[in-house]
Amino acid sequence: MSRIVLRDLTKSFGALSVVDPLSLDIESGSFVSIIGPSGCGKTTLVRVIAGLEPASSGEVSVDGAPPREARMRKRVAMVPQQPGLLPWRTVRSNAHLLLDVNRRANPNDAADAMALLHEVGLSDFLQAYPHELSGGMQQRVALVRALTLHAPLLVMDEPFAALDEITRTEMRGMLNRLVEGRGVTVLFVTHSITEAVALSDRVLVSSPRPTNVVADIAIDLPRPRSVEVEDDPRFVELCAHVRHALHGGMRGTSETR
């Protein structure tokens, strides 16, 4: 069964067309990355899928329902680019934020925030405030906060974009450990090729604005994946493949202009 289905989806702001007619099926339990240049409309696409912005035309279904309904039932867990932690809440209470609002829609099997915080190595920081954490730690809290919902769909919009390279590598390893075996579908937006290949089962390459999928690349690296996968010749090959698709897409549009 497909977790996300898009049929001829378009989105424009006034005269500005941000998403071209786009059709897409994302299978349940898969990790799918969307990679594309800045400003091509990735965030907009993600916001439409999460039900935060209406589509201009076409159909979107998330978990078999319109996005608005999925949102009301807390079926979509978001990790935004900025962690968006509340500065007056401790790590522990920030991790619980999404369960504290709209409680009627809380799932019966909400995940234990404490256990997750232990799992991402924040046991010693439960009572710390966000300003006492590094950027990587803040983003780990944001990830835990999303996972507590136990939602079938996890949407991450360039969550590691603001982090340094060393921390990003760590975060890739951690994210793979967290989602493998959880059965969650992940839609991951990035503009890092390494990140997309290391994490995904499938990479969708977008053209510059308006967003359109110019390549759909299956990542056949074995799971579970550790950081060592990045030394695999197949990994290097796939990265090159994505890079060519990305630059081909960019060249393609500039030639038509």
Ligand X SMILES: Nc1ncnc2c1ncn2[C@@H]1O[C@H](COP(=O)(O)OP(=O)(O)O)[C@@H](O)[C@H]1O
82 binds ligand X (CB under 6 A): no
- When binding is defined by CB under 6 A, the residue of 41, 51, 159, 249 that contacts ligand X is 41
- When binding is defined by CB under 6 A, the residue of 24, 26, 31, 44 that contacts ligand X is 44
Q: Using CB under 6 A, count the residues that bind ligand X.
A: 12
Least distance in Å: CB of 233 to another protein?
39
86 binds another protein (CB under 8 A): yes
In 3D space, the residue among 144, 151, 138, 1 whose CA is nearest the CA of residue 70 turns out to be 151
> Residue 29 or residue 80: which is nearer to ligand X going by CB?
80
In 3D space, the residue among 227, 242, 244 whose CA is nearest the CA of residue 34 turns out to be 242
107 binds another protein (CB under 8 A): no
CA atoms in the 13 A half-sphere facing the CB of 193: 14
43 binds Mg ion (CB under 5 A): yes
> Residue 61 or residue 81: which is nearer to another protein going by CB?
81
Which entry of ligand X, another protein, Mg ion, none binds 100, CB below 5 to 8 A by partner kind? another protein
